[in-house]
Chain A
């Protein structure tokens, strides 16, 4: 009964979305207030019914209703509660339902937080989001119904994929989708602005907090995925340039470019046309990501060709979204004028360099991800494009990006001179060189690459902090800091996060050690300064798996440092072997052990021990970026705009219009 109720709710939501996608848009163009007034209630009706449908599917999981095929394929009565809840988004149908739930949630959030935006504008924004909902709801209803029943019903489910039975991966998809789908708000604002032809600074201001919030969630989602891969896949890698990872990374890169041009558009009224285009591309890349992951095209072009229904649907949807937006853009772009000029030495220029590099990187990741598919489809053979390719392109593009970032953080808008910047830049460069050069001395061998990366990371942090310090107005620094808007603090935090991330990546790559050992119980082995002792393997059993747990004791100069318990699990239903790494996390590095094969009858095992230097810095950097983004999005100027009384503008605001 619940499943049918859920399907019914989904159909009602679909009909509401159709109304939302047509009536307010019509009303706003024809200036019909009644039609415009439909928008907000329709949003809430849609949200409520999608939530009911989602609740029904969750209930079916909790209730072990294995007559629903989706539940039967992704759950089991012995599955722990947390994974029954997260099992809802474990596979195709349910994750799409989550997509739509989050989309409806974002739409609802727009009605709450955009009260300052004029009604006809908001009607268009909500209408565009309604149209996106129509696309996804019809995708679910026509190709991927999560509520379909199977006859005869089975008595026990096939269990959740053991890879997904993990708290990190349980919250990874919702975070990622919050980011992906959040870009739909920015997209909707861009389309609404294109329809009205009013691409003004107000539009940029309305879009900014949404972009930054979505970007922050995407950052968190990607970081969670990377962290999960690190401890769950069992060999300590944190990024694989897998197409699925690239699918989430491309909107992130494009979104990063968008955040920066939006800043320029809002503050200075420049790059309007380009910003709109970036907004369209960012959301299109989110859709492309969904298409790539969901269509099966990544596994093989032929898999897509043999079961094209779902893939074709998203592909057509993608073509409509991209094609429609670009047509609208081509129609409106000639009338978009970005008036103010700027010097080659200015923050605008630094942001343009940022954009050239980020867009080049995005395009390269896209090309590398799709290239094997094209080559295969053209019959030119099969090739692989993997980490060696991406790293060799990504690193040379990222280094100048971070250099330009430090420059941009110190530059003034519109017009600056090297003469003014020289003192600051020279001092900061010297400090970064010094700090970066000293860092590797603390490690077990000196590496020039580590010193360079250290310099780059310090440059990112020092320039960000220096920028904040200058911004805090001379004289009363501390009061100035307290009065500095959250947006600026957010930027400082995020840029420092980049610095920490750079150092983390470089030091992990350079200073991590790994050793494969063959160890009998009680045997000791020295790697570098550390001594590893293997204490054998015990059999344990979990709720839905049996495990062999080894014990590895790490000591240095006879002092106990860590006691690791790497595990090999066998999940009973799917008979799938899994490795759980034993990890002792530390600020300066992790001790990491994984259990291999049993080598003989006397309890000798293959054990891989690793020291992952600075690995936490990678995720710490990402956390800082996300925190910075959220802080910036919560800046009070985004909220108080309309309510504040009009006062005589200060003299320095005029150049923004006339400069």
Chain B
């Protein structure tokens, strides 16, 4: 898989990040290393092997439908960079 500017830009867009031109070169190299690692893993023949999704064999860790463990509004909003007494404030999502 080729790591080009287009791919880095796509990933930046999906993560809603702005990436400076000089950072792109560095990121391309880092991404390349990750892909190399995965390519190495790909060398192993996994025909007929069930994918391992969970590292635990636990099943059915379920919860009864009961309300508990909520935090109050003051605490919920405490760590937000921008807020009022009721809401989290974020930059305008819809431009008019």
Please say whether chains A and B are actual partners in one complex. Answer: no
Q: Which residues of B contact A (CB under 8 A)?
A: none
